[in-house]
Structure 1
């Protein structure tokens, strides 16, 4: 096999490997996550910290977030700070962050820029379970019937009475 044939063969084999890898990767990269998907609001924000490095951020999630992820944007090397959310500060409209230069030195009365993502539980539609009504169990009540005594009816006589008595003094 000549040099050109080897190069062509190597190129073909490489292209096949890349194509096969892309197919495998494409099949494996399908998005998988919780169902139903959580609601998320991501935004860039800015605020001025107070004397302890805190500031309150307004969000539009519409409910108390389950988690908030923050990332500081530091436009210059001399403005580096760490940023954390404040435990217990989440409400349906706000959360708090705290900016720190070091573990013990807050970034006080300074403007900070950051991005955040607030995550809330998926809006669930209430499911209604059809109510099944079970009829009460049948109870058997013993039925007692009393049979009336047989009644005898006498019908008026329509034939002439027969006299079965013999007259007194007659005889024979």
Structure 2
């Protein structure tokens, strides 16, 4: 910044201070990748869907790292809260949601707001994660015999028709 520009800023700051405003000392440049970060700021409007959401187009050419939104309400009784929708950022759009309170969306209504979208990394196709698996482990098993184990059998003595020892006819006697 040249001396003349710094002096003009100082005079403007004094004028704001004299009018009762807040003055921030110093100036700062844009922060980000060289030569300068990608930023888009605009004012826009849209009509919300049944959930109070609408999609906004941007021209960053990259998925924004950050999007800041600020509602611009035209009337004193038309206030709504405005937030970006988590996970909705793409290389060309993002979504906002307008709510009257924590549980009531501004459904099917026009909303006006300003936004600033700060560029993130350029859009690239992600590589799938490596799926290198460890070698399979083997569990020792008991060897099996090729011949089946014979089923044990019991041999019963043959039935005899002989007379029990001690003789007799079995009629008591």
Comparing both structures, which one devotes a greater share of its residues to helix? Answer: 1
Contact 2:63–2:89 (CA under 8 A) maintained in structure 1:
yes
Q: Distance in 1 between matches of 2:30 and 2:89?
A: 28
Partner of 2:32: 34
Pair 108,31 (structure 1): closer, same or farther in 2 beyond 3 Å: same
The equivalences for 1:95-134 within 5 A come to 95-121=94-120
What TM-score do the two structures reach when normalised by structure 2?
Answer: 0.53
Matched, 1:83 2:91: no
**Highest Rg: 1 or 2?**
1
What TM-score do the two structures reach when normalised by structure 1?
Answer: 0.53
Q: Which ranges in structure 1 are unaligned for 5 or more consecutive residues?
A: 1-17, 124-172
1:67-113 deviations in whole A, cap 9, x for unaligned? Answer: 10000000101110010000000011110000000011110000000
Contact 2:47–2:111 (CA under 8 A) maintained in structure 1:
yes
Partner of 2:52: 53
Q: CA RMSD, aligned part only?
A: 2.8
1:29 Cα deviation from its structure 2 partner:
3.0
1:121 Cα deviation from its structure 2 partner:
3.4
Contact 1:53–1:109 (CA under 8 A) maintained in structure 2:
yes
Contact 1:38–1:122 (CA under 8 A) maintained in structure 2:
no
Q: Distance in 2 between matches of 1:93 and 1:121?
A: 12
Q: Distance in 2 between matches of 1:96 and 1:30?
A: 30
Q: Distance in 2 between matches of 1:52 and 1:31?
A: 39
Contact 1:39–1:122 (CA under 8 A) maintained in structure 2:
no
